[in-house]
Structure 1
Amino acid sequence: MNNVKLAPYKRSSSMKSVVDTMDTRISTNIGGLGRRYYDQLSQDLDKIIQVDVTNGVTETKGSVRGRAIQLALEMRSRGVSENDVIVIVSRTHADQTVVVLASLFLGAIVAPLNPEFSYKESLELVKKLKPKMCFCDIRMVSQMERIMPMLSHAAELIHFGEKSGSCVPFSKLFAHKESEYFQPVFIENPVITVAFILPTQGTTGNPKLICLSHQNVFGQTALLLHIFNYPDKIISFFPLCWIIQTALTCASFEANVMRILPGAFTERSACKIIHDFEVGYAIFGTDYAMKLISNVAIKARILSLPDFIESNNFGAKFDFNLNCLKCIMIGTVNTTKYDIQQLKTLMPHVKYLQCYCLTETGLIAASTIRNYAESLEKPDSVGQILCNGKIKIMDLDSRENAGPDRFGELYFKGDGMMLGYFKETDKTLAAMEKGYFKTGDVAMYDEEGWLYVQGRLEDVITRDDRRIYAIELENIILMHPLVKDVAVVGDSKQVVACVVRKRDTSLSVEKLTKFISERVPSYHMPTKIVFLDGFPRTTIGSVKRKILREELLTIKIEYSSSFTSINVD
């Protein structure tokens, strides 16, 4: 089967009540991802598909396939079989890719966890997963060594690197020679068989584990390639546990996409890698994209060099040319039209592709290279509904289907739907209604199928029987020239605006309050403004509003030997 080509968006005849783009189905006869990628990687063996910037490792399809076969043989000899769970807790690097492929060859389930999870979060998830093997890098060794004795079953701990403590070094798993007789497991029903278990980001509560089928991930990979129109070389700083990063990893097996694997994100390192490797495509999300354009090397291109040096009171050498960059995927967090304006001003030659994606549903909407010109006319949209999906908007009061041009809770069904939450049937059933997944996001679509998201349902604040959408108030506050970032949280009694000021600026509560009051009705006014240095964020840039709510809205009870006082501040 050749690379999958998806049809463009088609307007449904039922547009008035739902957006239905299920016209183009993806073939399910793939025999599982392992069998699919084994065949795909057997062609053009010298094609480079990954470059690890941190250690200089460059690998071809033949190299990755060969190492994955060796690793799969060793894993099988150590007792790994079909449907066993393989946990990976590491940054994105070349060896991680080989573990993913080897696990799929064996029909095992890949369960990548976020290296940024706390010990408690990781412990609970690993205990639930009951993995056969755990692969981790140097940062996670000590944490995983603490977790292993807490498990009720035996699990082997593998360390990417040299021997460390009780870990088996990854390099010791390649004693087997690549065998021409090796055959990956054939998955009889890829539609209902689990391939990956991915965690949620934990922005609104404890992380949940989401089961995705072979067919699901195959479809998400096809959608990602469709959005970028089959990129040749792409970079992403995100972890494997994020659904788009999982799809990107699989895209390198599927369609000869060369992945540039960087280390930790910094503005300068991103600029240097893009320049050195002439990268044309990037998945940054809005947060990283905004940080990228803050680099002095990029700002210098807008001003003449003498003016720039004078305005910043320093001299500098600018040696990065980012003209090779064609597209950046943004939108992993809410993106304002002001973000878009700034991005287009500082790097006008780049196409900024918005996307809207949940792990439970996969990619729901995006602006693509093909419809980019149209997306510029809809800067508030997160993109157009993608094929193989169906959505409807439920009124927040009546819970009836609201139709187009009205905000309500977004429901989704389609090929990207999860199989369910791992070992949590009750939560799975609670998240579903008549075949639709209840996203918990407030959204609207227009007559052309473009989607507009107002944030999470829990971010809709109700005070005095009036609804306040946090994102609307945030956009007003962001208009102030001294405000860098803002997050609004609230309940029936309080509306708290958490504000990050721009560097080396002074902005008082009184001045910001006056600015807001001139632009919003009185019932939209925050009851409190708090200045912070930054926000707690997930690895994909989403603000952990749960933490802000707990710190700023929860009533704190302080005990002493003589009295109990309640402090609402």
Structure 2
Amino acid sequence: MFENPEKISYLIDIFDTMGDLYSARTAIIEYESGDKYSYNDLIQRSLRVAKFLSELSIKAGDRIATLLMNRIEYIDLFLASRRIGSILVPINWRLTPSEIKSIIRDVEPKVIVYESMFRELVERSIEAGFTSKIIRIVIDSESQDPEYPYNDALRSQGIRDRRNIDFEEPAMILFTGGTTGTPKGAVISYRQIFYNIVSEILTWRLREDHKTVVILPLFHTGGWNLLTLPLLARGGLLYLVKKFDPKIFLEIVETSRGPMVIFAVPTIYYMIMKYDRFKEIRFDNVEWMLSGGAPIDRKIMEDYWSKGVRMAQGYGITEGGPNNLTMPIYDLSLEDIKARWKSVGKPFAFNIVKIMDHDGKELGPNMYGEIVICGPLIFSGYWKRNGETASVLRDGCVYTGDIGFYDVEGYFYVVDRKKDIIKSGGEQIYPREIEELVMQHPSVEDCAVIGVPDEKWGEVPKLIIKLKPMHKISKDEIIKFLTGKLARYKIPRYIAIVDEIPKSPAGKTLKRILMERHGMPEDEL
């Protein structure tokens, strides 16, 4: 039997090779400014930023928090963090100061990088005890004490040393609700990123002439791992747009030459098709458009199909990929896609996807059970939450909490959720978070939150309230009570006042009955 006398002890980061392989090619165009960056530009900028961070004593394992729109500095920071081994923590700027404060307290970043427009948000989110400990770096503005200007980083000489990396080292912490409820930090290893890249390149057959618009925000796993990092590794072209705008998206589709591939959530596709110029824009250069994050309405897909676009669905979660299931878009005709429009497809390369019953037995075709994902694309666990990690990550597999099945041809379908997470416009909303706040209102005796259909967002929260005797409450009063405590997208769209909240003998709220009684998107006051 052959024995290798030496193990490979030096792994080179895949992103270190970009400058050599694609040096002169254009990697990124910031659409609003028109600024273009070659692959060599990306490497040189990231080396300077890495040097600057190192001089601020940022080292391997330290967390770098960000509050940024989609812009070139995000790419700088990701590549720089790979160079020095720090961990990037993108924060959702739509959250309230109290929610951001909770994240900062959890990950204890050594530095936070933000745009000047988020300066007040940072001030309100950093506790007094953290002020002297967290280094602040501001972009696109004159710095104010105690801030450092980001431009100082771009004037650094650049770090030159290569680092010996570990496949399992944390590269990012992405905050998600996961499958158990409250938002928590999913630890994304270099191994997960690497396999996501290779899996996507192979499965979606990405080429260096492919282009995409980075539509999803870079504080989401979809912003990074669905096309952005895989196309950079493949030598493709990214259009960076600070914040999604259907007008800008259609302008890019109309004026860009060469093949485009697009990934977005249903809400974004809805907003694009509702824009007044959608009907006149040709999509001849769009090879395909894939949707994920939430179920998509067939009526939305039909508007794109009518333009000859191959639009289909996929499925993935932060903890499991997110490149887990996709329709084999190049192997299906448009008619095939229409016939299987409800399917989220087949596993990406390197994925093992199972359907399991509640006893842990693997099920066969057309049998409903929990979707379980195994393989090298899964996450490393939740940051500082061993108990919640153990409930999701078991025997080297991620238990998604979603219910589904696959047919005899191996196509998967998602039919329900094990938990009560509401998926709205690609965001995850956790009913318990809303319920706990509402229960603090002096007029509320009991409450529950369910998801109801919405044409634009897919689902929106509906709040069902049982009032205390002799109390009254208005919808405006509830919304005012929650404003500032929750991000705007989490505030219930509809309110129902009821006499009783149905309970099980064990005292658990029976949301199935609430859905039957109050599942319409309307107020019931």
TM-score where L is the length of structure 2:
0.75
* Mapped partners of 2:450, 2:59: distance in 1: 52
> Which position in structure 1 is the counterpart of 2:504?
none
Distance 1:410 1:551, change over 3 A: farther
> Which position in structure 2 is the counterpart of 1:335?
296
> Which position in structure 2 is the counterpart of 1:161?
140
- Taking the TM superposition and a 5 Å limit, the aligned residue runs for 1:199-210 are 199-200=175-176, 205-210=181-186
Whether 2:26 is the aligned partner of 1:48: answer yes
> Which position in structure 2 is the counterpart of 1:388?
350
Check whether the contact 1:121–1:207 (CA below 8 A) recurs between aligned residues.
no
- Taking the TM superposition and a 5 Å limit, the aligned residue runs for 1:15-164 are 35-152=13-130, 154-164=133-143
Q: Match of 1:114, SS?
A: coil
1:151 shift after superposition = 4.8
* Mapped partners of 1:66, 1:552: distance in 2: 57
Q: Which amino acid aligns with 2:368?
A: F
Q: Match of 1:42, SS?
A: helix
Whether 2:155 is the aligned partner of 1:195: answer no
Distance 1:297 1:253, change over 3 A: closer
Q: Match of 2:183, SS?
A: coil
Identity %: 19
Whether 2:267 is the aligned partner of 1:287: answer yes
* Mapped partners of 1:498, 1:417: distance in 2: 30
What is the aligned counterpart of 2:329 among 356, 369, 379? 369
Distance 1:32 1:202, change over 3 A: same
- Taking the TM superposition and a 5 Å limit, the aligned residue runs for 1:412-431 are 412-431=373-392
> Which position in structure 1 is the counterpart of 2:310?
351
Mark the runs of 5 or more structure 1 residues left unpaired by the alignment: 1-27, 302-319, 461-469, 472-486, 503-529, 531-542, 558-567
- Taking the TM superposition and a 5 Å limit, the aligned residue runs for 1:307-326 are 320-326=281-287
Check whether the contact 1:52–1:260 (CA below 8 A) recurs between aligned residues.
yes
Q: Match of 1:420, SS?
A: coil
Q: Match of 1:41, SS?
A: helix
Higher relative contact order (CA 8 A, sep 6+): 1
Check whether the contact 1:275–1:322 (CA below 8 A) recurs between aligned residues.
yes
Q: Which amino acid aligns with 1:172?
A: D
Distance 1:93 1:78, change over 3 A: same
What is the aligned counterpart of 1:175 among 155, 166, 191? 155
* Mapped partners of 2:189, 2:454: distance in 1: 41
> Which position in structure 1 is the counterpart of 2:245?
266
1:170 shift after superposition = 0.8
Q: Match of 2:28, SS?
A: strand
Distance 1:233 1:495, change over 3 A: closer
* Mapped partners of 1:284, 1:327: distance in 2: 11
Check whether the contact 1:227–1:369 (CA below 8 A) recurs between aligned residues.
no
Q: Deviations over 1:64-88 (max 9, x none)?
A: 1111111111111110111111112
Distance 1:89 1:151, change over 3 A: farther
Distance 1:298 1:267, change over 3 A: same
Distance 1:31 1:50, change over 3 A: farther
RMSD: 3.4
* Mapped partners of 1:553, 1:387: distance in 2: 49
1:422 shift after superposition = 0.3
Q: Which amino acid aligns with 2:253?
A: I
1:267 shift after superposition = 2.2
Check whether the contact 1:32–1:214 (CA below 8 A) recurs between aligned residues.
no
Q: How many residues align?
A: 439
* Mapped partners of 1:149, 1:223: distance in 2: 41
TM-score where L is the length of structure 1:
0.70
* Mapped partners of 1:405, 1:549: distance in 2: 36
Q: Which amino acid aligns with 1:197?
A: I
* Mapped partners of 1:221, 1:100: distance in 2: 15
- Taking the TM superposition and a 5 Å limit, the aligned residue runs for 1:362-511 are 362=321, 363-373=323-333, 374-395=336-357, 400-459=361-420, 498=452
* Mapped partners of 1:416, 1:207: distance in 2: 21
Check whether the contact 2:111–2:136 (CA below 8 A) recurs between aligned residues.
yes
> Which position in structure 1 is the counterpart of 2:505?
none
Distance 1:548 1:353, change over 3 A: same
Q: Deviations over 1:104-148 (max 9, x none)?
A: 111111111112122111111111111111111133221112333
Check whether the contact 1:72–1:106 (CA below 8 A) recurs between aligned residues.
yes
* Mapped partners of 1:427, 1:252: distance in 2: 33
> Which position in structure 2 is the counterpart of 1:221?
197
1:214 shift after superposition = 0.5
Distance 1:210 1:297, change over 3 A: same
* Mapped partners of 2:157, 2:391: distance in 1: 49
1:206 shift after superposition = 2.9
Q: Which amino acid aligns with 1:124?
A: S
1:417 shift after superposition = 1.1
* Mapped partners of 1:414, 1:371: distance in 2: 24
Distance 1:359 1:260, change over 3 A: same
Q: Deviations over 1:288-345 (max 9, x none)?
A: 112212222232x4xxxxxxxxxxxxxxxxxx44332222121221124343333312
Distance 1:262 1:136, change over 3 A: same
> Which position in structure 2 is the counterpart of 1:242?
220
Check whether the contact 2:178–2:318 (CA below 8 A) recurs between aligned residues.
no
Q: Which amino acid aligns with 1:273?
A: I
Q: Match of 1:184, SS?
A: coil
Check whether the contact 2:313–2:341 (CA below 8 A) recurs between aligned residues.
no
Q: Deviations over 1:12-48 (max 9, x none)?
A: xxxxxxxxxxxxxxxx979567x33122322331110
1:198 shift after superposition = 0.8
Distance 1:285 1:226, change over 3 A: farther
Q: Deviations over 1:450-478 (max 9, x none)?
A: 11001321359xxxxxxxxx99xxxxxxx
Check whether the contact 2:196–2:230 (CA below 8 A) recurs between aligned residues.
no
* Mapped partners of 1:220, 1:87: distance in 2: 23
Q: Which amino acid aligns with 1:335?
A: I
Distance 1:240 1:554, change over 3 A: farther
* Mapped partners of 1:30, 1:140: distance in 2: 42
* Mapped partners of 2:75, 2:388: distance in 1: 31
Q: Which amino acid aligns with 1:386?
A: F
